[in-house]
Structure 1
Amino acid sequence: MRTRLEVKDLAMEYGKKFLFPDFTNKLTWFVAGVGGAVVLTPTPLKLIVYNWLVDLLDANFGNKFTLAELSPNAADYWVGAALIVGALLHNIANRYFIYKGQQSSLAHVRGQVSKIDKELFDRFLEDFPSGSESINMLQQQDFANSFNIAKLANLEKFVDGWNIVEREFLDVELEHMRKELWDICSSFCYKLSLGAYDLNGGPIFSCIPDAYRGTDNWPKHVDDKIDELNKLSTSCFERYKEFVRFGRKMLAERS
């Protein structure tokens, strides 16, 4: 079933072909040219041409052909007009079949693109599922408190493995959102790696330096670091939700 936008595009396409026909087709040129000549040529001149054709045929095949008498007011304009209209209709029909062929080919290409993107999107959800501990941590963790770094395994897998050409979506908008998600997640991981310290060899980490841990008397740069990490983790979570929702909706519409 066609959408309203597709119907509108189709109507505009056909209207353009009718108002501005393509005369590159040789048959269209020839028939329209003959029709124009019939309409524009004065009747006396046409009589001369017709008589010449009859004489030529009679000279080759005997006196088998005759030409009815034409009076000056019997100009056969309708014949020329019919030829021109026929040429236009032929051209429109020709462009219609070309258009349908292009649409069929385009639909096939879109189907292939959707299939490839869907497979890649499923792979993304396997590597970075919405129910993973990484997503829960991005949503809930306050980095003023200690945390288990192992819970960020899925996030790190996404950052490490999804910045290569094989992980790019063919759909431009979907790929743009994937790249934005990767950028913000990569920035978060980088900032966390610079601002977190392991406790007794890990896997528990803290963003509070040893000298201030266990107290509330932190210098401003520690507060700034914690605030930055909390904001980045929230941004990662929000971008993740937007990407997953958009991907599911877009791929479902194109399936």
Structure 2
Amino acid sequence: MLKKSELKDLVLEYGKKFLFPDFTNKLTWFVAGVGGAIILTPTPLKLIIYNWLVDSANLNSGTRFTLAELAPDAADYSVGVVLIIGALLHNIANRYLVYKEKKASSHDVSGQTNQIDKELFKKFLEDFPSNSDSIDMLRQQDFSNSFNIFRLANLEKFVEEWDTVEREFLNTDLERMRRELWEACYTFNYKLSMGAYDLNGGPIFSCIPDAYRGTDNWPAHVDEKIDELNGLSTTCFKLYEEFVRFGRKSIA
């Protein structure tokens, strides 16, 4: 059994289609076609048709009425023009209603998308806040100096937990920037884990091998490693700032 609300929606839907058919609908074409036929039909032929309609009405109604005689060269375009204009206006009204419905539906979807991204962005700032030790380290650390590995806890959390479908933004630009940030942080974290050594069991680490620590006489590969890590950390910090700024603007 149909519920009252479902029955109402059904009546409204089919009622709207009947009252506002698309211009490709046969009824709309028929109205416009009749209007065009009236305009294009020669006046004598129209006179014959009008008289036939009058005679048919007189035979069926029992009440006689007459139609004013038309001059053979008279041009009566008013009825045809009215029918064509009416069909066009009817179609325009239908297109307008369809446009409003689509716009309202698009607005609802956009609002839901925005709310989902808002909640996800809030979660991101909780896991990887801008005032965290990780961001401060990305901004200021020179990896020729030793560092406390615990300061990278938020960055490691981001790398470990933000590579799943549940952490993808629906806004395509925001998701692209999140992905770029994650890939940069992943690369930095991997390179650091492969190129740093703990001092006395940690948590203090250094990128300088024991044999060269405390001197300035480092092999070229050590300088290259430090330059690479400094460059990656700077890249991560810039991508982070761009992502946060864009996120605040796009889902505000």
Say whether the fold is shared (TM-score over 0.5). yes
Cα RMSD of the aligned pairs, angstroms, is 1.3
User: For residues 27 and 100 of structure 1, what CA distance do their matches in structure 2 show?
Assistant: 23
Deviations 1:4-41 (A, max 9, x none): xxxxxxxxxxxxxxxxxx62244432221111011001
CA distance in 2, matches of 1:181, 1:124: 12
Equivalents in 1 of 2:64, 2:98: separation in Å? Answer: 44
Q: TM-score, normalised by structure 2?
A: 0.88
Counterpart of 1:53, as a letter, is: L
- CA distance in 2 between partners of 1:168 and 1:64 (Å): 78
Which residue does the alignment assign to 1:237?
A: 237
Distance 2:118 2:186 in 1: 24
Q: What is the CA distance between 1:205 and its match in structure 2?
A: 0.7
For 1:46 and 1:24, how far apart are their aligned partners in 2?
A: 27
Percent pairwise identity: 73
Deviations 1:158-206 (A, max 9, x none): 0011110010000110101000000100110011111011111111111
User: Any idea what SS the aligned residue of 2:251 has?
Assistant: helix
2:7 match: none
Please name the residue that 1:202 is paired with: 202
Displacement of 1:81 in angstroms is 1.2
**Aligned equivalents of 2:222 and 2:209: distance in 1?**
8
**Contact 1:25-1:91 within 8 A present in 2 as well:** no
Instruction: Return the letter of the residue paired with 1:75.
Output: A
| Pairing of 1:49-60 with structure 2 (within 5 A) | 49-60=49-60
> Structure 1: which amino acid aligns with 2:97?
F
Q: Which runs of 5+ in 1 are unaligned?
A: 1-21
Letter in 2 for 1:79: V
Please give the alpha-carbon distance, in whole angstroms, between the structure 1 residues aligned to 2:122 and 2:66. 79
Q: Match of 2:87, as an amino acid?
A: A
- 8 Å contact from structure 1 (residues 191, 229) kept in 2: yes
Partner residue of 1:101? Answer: 101
Distance 1:26 1:146 in 2: 81
Where 1:211 maps in the other structure, the secondary structure is coil
Partner of 1:117: 117
Partner-residue secondary structure (3-state), 1:68: coil
Q: Distance in 2 between matches of 1:199 and 1:58?
A: 113
Structure 1 match to 2:251: 251
